[in-house]
Chain A
Amino acid sequence: MTTSYELDVNGVTYPVTADQGKNLLSVIRENVGLTGTKEGCDDCECGACMVLLDGQPLNSCSYLAVQAQGRQVTTIEGVMDGPEMHALQRNLLEAGGVQCGFCTPGMIMSAKALLERDARPELDAARIGLSGNLCRCTGYAKILSAVEATAVELNT
């Protein structure tokens, strides 16, 4: 059944008319029109679809969009600091932590939530923070060093 509601994405309120069972990922990509969030496994395993819901990481492929009403959704498009890249984005580029780039938006969302919980994570805490995100080509070492560089940069 089709239902209508409003969704707050990156601080903007969007009217949505969609099937009640439609997942948040599809609503963000198709109804809202923001395609930075990726569909990987579509099965809650790979983390390519990671967004923030009230600041916490969420696999948007497996969450009903109607249930996100009244909450703040943040996608990769909401991470930029005006025209400037977020430190995580810049450090990922500098560390070579982006190869094909498909996992990158999800990685950034998980890393952002991690750094908000724990400003200077130990390596093991950083690994756990990114443990819901799979990368199949870059490998994790450069991604983790970008997270570490960001933690240092934001706290000095």
Chain B
Amino acid sequence: MSFTIATTVDEALVALDAGARPIAGGTDLVVGARHGKAALPADLVAIDRIDELGGVELDSAGVRVGALMSHAELMTDPVIVGSYTAIADASALVGSPSTRHVGTLGGNVMNGSPAMDTGAPLTVLRAAAELRSVTGSRTVSLDELWAGPGRTTANPGELLVALHLPPAWDRCGSAYVRLEYRRAMEIAVVGAAAAVTLAADGTVASVAVALAAVAPTILSVDGVNEALVGRTAAAAGPVAAALASEQAAPISDLRASDRYRRHCIGVMAKRAVDAAARRADGESIAVPVNRSLGIGAA
């Protein structure tokens, strides 16, 4: 049994190589262990004071978002709020101020819950995950990373160091909306993110929609771009809703039935597309869009 505190990525990688599990904020790992979901790993390496894992930086390929960015930082970061707004919408909804200060983006992504709030936004914004181990590094799409509920394809020796986002372009907007029964300490009943780019004439030039809590992993909606390009923003929403409801594969649990989830995911997808298109058109809608438009409550 061991607990070490790493201050550099290299130190953390050596500990992972020796079999330790990383702990960032612990809001999934420790809470899960206390629930009896999985025992607390015997060997842990704390990664929460590794400076290299923080920050949002613009680079030639776009933007690098450090795995250690907390939800509280993401929801107020000027680059994220300005150009990758759906991520800020999501982070602003996580838990409570305490959860948002200690919980990290990397933990959210690597925990692999199908209901994770940042997953659908990262997917529509085409984020890629940079994984590093003692033997090297590789960058994978999120689609390749998430393998099922609570499972990723990362090896135990790999640390998620950053998420990479492509450069933001003109007349692009994004939004994340989740259905919730209360305004704090909630898990998405279902959630939908959209990224929309508008052409000069105001019609849709490109669009992506992804869904949370309706499949074993975050679900990217197929065919949505083909179906929506060239339509007006107003006409796009209902089509996105129909595709989302059709492709969702929700379960029934104590929070909602599969039928209710399938219906509501369409409603959320439409609202996400509408809000993303309004942002693409230059309208400023405060983060989180759930609150400023009052569109996420059951």
| Interface residue A72 (Cβ < 8 Å from any Cβ of B) | no
**Chain A residue with the shortest CB-CB distance to B40:** A21
Q: A20-B1, A56-B101 are in contact. Are A131 and B185 (CB under 8 A)?
A: yes
Query: Are B3 and A3 interface neighbours, CB within 8 A?
Result: yes
Query: Are B34 and A62 interface neighbours, CB within 8 A?
Result: yes
CA distance A62 to B95 in the complex (A): 14
Residues 31-70 of chain B, each 1 if its beta carbon lies under 8 Å from chain A, else 0: 1011100001000101011000000000000000000000
Within the complex, which residue of B46, B97, B185 is in contact with A113, where a contact is CB–CB below 8 Å?
B97
Query: Are A64 and B23 interface neighbours, CB within 8 A?
Result: yes
| Interface residue A104 (Cβ < 8 Å from any Cβ of B) | no
| Interface residue B183 (Cβ < 8 Å from any Cβ of A) | yes
| Interface residue B14 (Cβ < 8 Å from any Cβ of A) | no
Query: Are B97 and A131 interface neighbours, CB within 8 A?
Result: yes
Q: A47-B96, A57-B101 are in contact. Are A63 and B30 (CB under 8 A)?
A: yes
CA distance A3 to B2 in the complex (A): 9
Most buried by A among B48, B98, B183: B98
| Interface residue A12 (Cβ < 8 Å from any Cβ of B) | no
| Interface residue B145 (Cβ < 8 Å from any Cβ of A) | no
CA distance A129 to B96 in the complex (A): 8
| Interface residue B26 (Cβ < 8 Å from any Cβ of A) | yes
Within the complex, which residue of A67, A110, A132 is in contact with B185, where a contact is CB–CB below 8 Å?
A132
| Interface residue B27 (Cβ < 8 Å from any Cβ of A) | yes
Q: A67-B48, A132-B99 are in contact. Are A23 and B30 (CB under 8 A)?
A: yes
Query: Are A53 and B102 interface neighbours, CB within 8 A?
Result: yes
Query: Are B97 and A132 interface neighbours, CB within 8 A?
Result: yes
Q: How far is the CB of B224 from chain A (nearest CB, A)?
A: 33
Query: Are B30 and A62 interface neighbours, CB within 8 A?
Result: yes
Query: Are B26 and A64 interface neighbours, CB within 8 A?
Result: yes
Residues 15-47 of chain A, each 1 if its beta carbon lies under 8 Å from chain B, else 0: 000001101000000000000000000111101
Residues 52-70 of chain A, each 1 if its beta carbon lies under 8 Å from chain B, else 0: 0100111101111011011
Q: Provide the residues of chain B in CB contact with A69, threshold 8 Å.
A: 5
CA distance A43 to B101 in the complex (A): 17
CA distance A62 to B33 in the complex (A): 9
Q: Provide the residues of chain B in CB contact with A62, threshold 8 Å.
A: 26-27, 30-31, 34
Q: Provide the residues of chain A in CB contact with B31, threshold 8 Å.
A: 43-44, 62
CA distance A109 to B227 in the complex (A): 51
CA distance A40 to B31 in the complex (A): 15
**Chain A residue with the shortest CB-CB distance to B39:** A21
Q: Within B14-31, which residues are at the interface with A (CB < 8 Å)?
A: 23, 26-27, 30-31
Residues 109-124 of chain A, each 1 if its beta carbon lies under 8 Å from chain B, else 0: 0100110000000000
CA distance A58 to B46 in the complex (A): 17
Query: Are B23 and A67 interface neighbours, CB within 8 A?
Result: yes
**Which residues of B pack against A, CB within 8 Å?**
1-3, 5, 23, 26-27, 30-31, 33-35, 40, 44, 46, 48-49, 72, 95-99, 101-102, 183-185
**Which residues of A pack against B, CB within 8 Å?**
1, 3, 20-21, 23, 42-45, 47, 50, 53, 56-59, 61-64, 66-67, 69-70, 110, 113-114, 128-129, 131-133
Pairs A-B, 7 closest by C-beta atoms: A132-B96, A131-B184, A1-B1, A56-B101, A57-B98, A62-B31, A66-B3
Task: Give me 7 A-to-B residue pairs in the complex whose CB atoms sit less than 8 angstroms apart, sorted by A's number.
Answer: A20-B44, A45-B185, A57-B97, A62-B31, A110-B97, A131-B184, A133-B96
